[in-house]
Amino acid sequence: MFERIRANKIKSFFLVAILATLMILAGLVLGESIAQGGGMVGVVIALIIWTVLTLVSYYAGDSMILAISHAQPIEKKDAPQLYNVVEEMSIASGLPMPKVYIIEDSAPNAFATGRNPKTASIAVTRGLLDKMSRDELQGVVAHEMGHVLNRDILFVMMASILVGVLVLLCDFYLRSFWRVGGSRSSSRREGGKGGAQAILVILAIIMAILAPILARLLYLAISRRREYLADATSAALTRYPEGLASALEKIANDPDVLEVANRATSALYIANPIKPFEERYVAWESTHPPIGERIKILRSIAGGASYLSYQNAWRDVGQRSLRARLISPDEMAQSNTRFQPPQQPAGPQT
């Protein structure tokens, strides 16, 4: 898994670097549009905001996401079956036992977050516990452990916060501009510099609109592949891909909407929780692959629940080239020795 871990660390670095560039450009243009010579002030403010956000998202991002999601920590006595399933998947993956949280919401869903496996947390909704069988619950938890194993959790945690805040900042500027922009523009024209300032204002508006779009596209470009990989890891950990396939089918058909989810945190979940969003926008704008395709891949796995069998099903279902590769040969070889059938922990099963 070292290749996947290294790749996700590189993605996290580039995400932070690209968002820093976008925020600096936005600060320069927006600052200059507000006051002549204010571009450098805008850059300094943007750098301060970026530094604070990066540190906060890295060291406290998981706590923020759990708080936003209204997730409450539990002990084994609170949900014995869930706790046992998480213990099983922790043993099967060779990872430390993550903290377990429950979100009191009737919509079935789940996510994992944290900086690394030692600080990882898995949160599931009450609806998931009530509506899933044990095998389905195991498939979902194994999927989330796959995100922990592949180090997706750091990247998605930071992306959720940084991209979300960049969108909010640009939205705040646009709202402020429409409130006070007219009077400032007229005063600048009276000063004889209306043409240059008008161009800056137009550039600022374009930047405020494009910056969050570019950041979002960067996020979407690399978020879908991690879902396929986590599905493959779930199949390898449980040796029963039908468990996750059946769980995804129930989640997709469930009418309840996850009230605590929003556009910034939606990519964390095992399935896109904002169903009206999926209905209004085309599929390529979703943070998740089509759920129907994910289910079909899992049910098309032949020759054992291994990385290789998942990759073959991924190619066949998606009509991808035989040269297309989701998982490297080294990772496939490691999975054959690393992933063992899950052991049942001692204790009552409920």
Residue count (the chain)? 350
Helix (H) or strand (E) holding 114: none
Instruction: Classify residue 111 by burial, with Cβ atoms within 10 Å: 0-12, 13-18, 19+.
Output: buried
Would residue 144 show up in a list of annotated catalytic residues for this protein? yes
| Longest pairwise C-alpha distance within the chain | 81
Show Cβ contacts of residue 349 under 8 Å, excluding neighbours closer than 6 positions. 80, 81, 84, 134
Out of 32, 87, 136, 144, the active site residue is: 144
In this structure, what DSSP letter does residue 119 have? G
Rounded to whole angstroms, the Cα distance separating 85 from 64 reads: 25
How many Å is the Cα radius of gyration of the chain? 23
The whole-angstrom separation of Cα 347 and Cα 350 is 10
Q: What are phi and psi of 344, to 5 degrees?
A: -80, 120
d(CA 156, CA 213): 17
Shortest CA distance to 141 belongs to which of 102, 85, 225, 72?
A: 85
User: In whole angstroms, what is the distance from residue 190 CA to residue 143 CA?
Assistant: 62
Tell me the one-letter amino acid at 167: V
Strand, coil or helix: what is 121? strand
Q: Which residues are catalytic?
A: 144
